[in-house]
Structure 1
Amino acid sequence: MPRLPLPILLSFNGGYVDTVGFVALAGLFTAHVTGNFVTLGASIALGTGGALSKLVALPVFCMVIMLVRLLSQWLERSRKPVMTVLLWLKLVLFAIAATFAEVHGPFDDGSSLAAFAAGMILVAAMAIQNAFHRVHLSKMPPTTLMTGTTTQIMLDLADLIGGLAQGDLKPVKERLKRMSASVLAFALGCAAAAVAFLLSRTWCFAVPVALGALSLFASVRPPEKASIEAPLDSAHTE
């Protein structure tokens, strides 16, 4: 039975979680954490809530990235399934965030301790996804930030239209296909998050749990052999 490609699933999740964090937690970016510099400035200038979450998000993100790196190194030395363990950790954090939101949400006050805690849990989960992608899916399009991907898509299209892309065009077209799919999945994730938030301001946090569970069964395409699907951890040399 064909399985959903992991990069596409992660892109959908990236768009979803970032949007849910923004609309439910007073403008907090949980994946694109550097965007919180902008929203922090807006919070200070306009007096809106959530300033502490936006200030602390980047240090929390950086700390989790370092811890994930150290954990991955230990898992590799112990010959443990690194990719699977990281996906499980992310799933657990999403489950904690969903449970926390159901108990303490909705988060009407973005400056409340409950909103801060929920935000930092999601930031930690998305830090794991960012580190996971950087190490294990580095040849695939990013799953949490689409600006660079969109830029490359436009450059490739311009080269194809202008006849500047020469030689074997198959790699260019394959890259266009992968990147376009990633951007589309991210955009659909953003739209799904908006709809889910309108339906329920607390249960919208449960969707990443389902996405995290699906990711455990998703297919990974090794960068060196993009036409071959492989299970988790087979794309990474232990």
Structure 2
Amino acid sequence: MAWFAAQPGQVPGEDTCLALIAGYVDTLGFVALFGLFTAHVTGNFLLIGAALAHGGHGLLIKWLAFPAFVAGIVFARMLDNRLLHREPPVRAHALYVLQAVLLAGYMTMGLLAMPVTDADAPLTIACGLLGAAAMGVQNAHGRLTTRAVVANTVMTGNVTQAVIDGFDLLFSSNDLATRQVARGRLLRILPPVAGFAVGACAGAAGFLLASFWALLLPLAALCVLAVLVRRTGTPEVGT
């Protein structure tokens, strides 16, 4: 099954699960924290520009999300550097643990900040920054350990490639090699795209039903991934 296919050294469905986590956490932050994107920073820059043009509030948390996101990447890099002598699954496990700790801090700070009515309140800002740092770690994870086959936090590139591969699959009938490559890549790309979309819907619903307690779901998923990847004991993709 393409949804659960794994490369050597990967947990089956790992990319799809990470994409689901990214969509879930990003949308929950957007709904809960006045339009803050935690999984990627580009959207925050756009919202800052819109707020400057038309007026608005909540600029500080969006400005600070960028250095928090960068800090998450730096923490991930520092941790990975300390573990370069260890097996790749150990390094991946450590990064999952780091992300889970930051995500738990995000949830805890959000619960302490409830009800979130002021985007510039210190607890609200601290909540958003921990969320951005957690997703910075996830963005760094794939590049540091080469576990990720496709991007799992931002879907624009994946959707673009999926459309190109879909076109080649449909209209390159005389080029068998091109069609085979397109089909294989499409089977790797589509599950994370679908996972991100499902996660986005679930994140919004989760916050409406359980406020920041809803972050227990992606937190549990990260803990499961941390355990499973530690048990793989085989080199990762590209190593």
The answer to whether TM tops 0.5 is yes
Q: Which residue of 2 aligns with 1:201?
A: 211
219 and 156 in structure 1: CA distance in 2 versus 1, 3 angstrom threshold: farther
CA distance in 2, matches of 1:37, 1:45: 12
Q: Say if 2:36 and 2:61, in contact at 8 Å, map to a contact too.
A: yes
In the alignment, does 2:40 pair up with 1:39?
Answer: no
TM-score under structure 1 normalisation? 0.86
Q: Which residue of 1 aligns with 2:98?
A: 89
Q: Which residue of 2 aligns with 1:235?
A: 236
Q: What SS does structure 2 have at the residue aligned with 1:109? A: coil
Q: Which residue of 1 aligns with 2:64?
A: 56
When the two chains are superposed, the root-mean-square deviation of aligned CA atoms in Å is 2.5
165 and 158 in structure 1: CA distance in 2 versus 1, 3 angstrom threshold: farther
232 and 53 in structure 1: CA distance in 2 versus 1, 3 angstrom threshold: farther
Amino acid across the alignment from 1:191: C
> Please, which of 55, 70, 73 is the counterpart of residue 78 of structure 2?
70
183 and 199 in structure 1: CA distance in 2 versus 1, 3 angstrom threshold: same
Gaps of 5+ in 1: 221-229
CA distance in 1, matches of 2:195, 2:119: 28
Q: Which residue of 1 aligns with 2:180?
A: 170
Mean Cα displacement is larger for which, 177-186 or 72-81? Answer: 72-81
Aligned residues: 228
CA distance in 2, matches of 1:79, 1:182: 26
CA distance in 1, matches of 2:46, 2:23: 18
Mean Cα displacement is larger for which, 205-214 or 48-57? Answer: 205-214
After TM superposition, list the pairs within 5 Å mapping 1:1-238 onto structure 2: 4-77=12-85, 81-137=90-146, 140-163=149-172, 166-168=175-177, 169-218=179-228, 231=232, 234-235=235-236
Mean Cα displacement is larger for which, 154-163 or 198-207? Answer: 198-207
Q: Say if 1:106 and 1:202, in contact at 8 Å, map to a contact too.
A: no
235 and 210 in structure 1: CA distance in 2 versus 1, 3 angstrom threshold: same
CA distance in 1, matches of 2:108, 2:211: 13
Q: Say if 1:32 and 1:144, in contact at 8 Å, map to a contact too.
A: yes
Mean Cα displacement is larger for which, 192-201 or 177-186? Answer: 192-201
CA distance in 1, matches of 2:234, 2:91: 7
CA distance in 1, matches of 2:233, 2:50: 41
CA distance in 2, matches of 1:113, 1:203: 20
Gaps of 5+ in 2: 5-10
Mean Cα displacement is larger for which, 203-212 or 143-152? Answer: 203-212
Identity %: 34
92 and 103 in structure 1: CA distance in 2 versus 1, 3 angstrom threshold: same
Amino acid across the alignment from 2:193: V
Per-residue CA deviations over 1:82-119 (Å, capped at 9, x if unaligned) read: 11111001111111211222222232211211111000
Q: Say if 2:146 and 2:237, in contact at 8 Å, map to a contact too.
A: no
Amino acid across the alignment from 1:148: G
Q: Larger % of helix: which?
A: 2
Q: Say if 1:65 and 1:131, in contact at 8 Å, map to a contact too.
A: yes
Deviation at 1:203, TM superposition (A): 1.8
Deviation at 1:235, TM superposition (A): 1.2
Amino acid across the alignment from 1:77: H
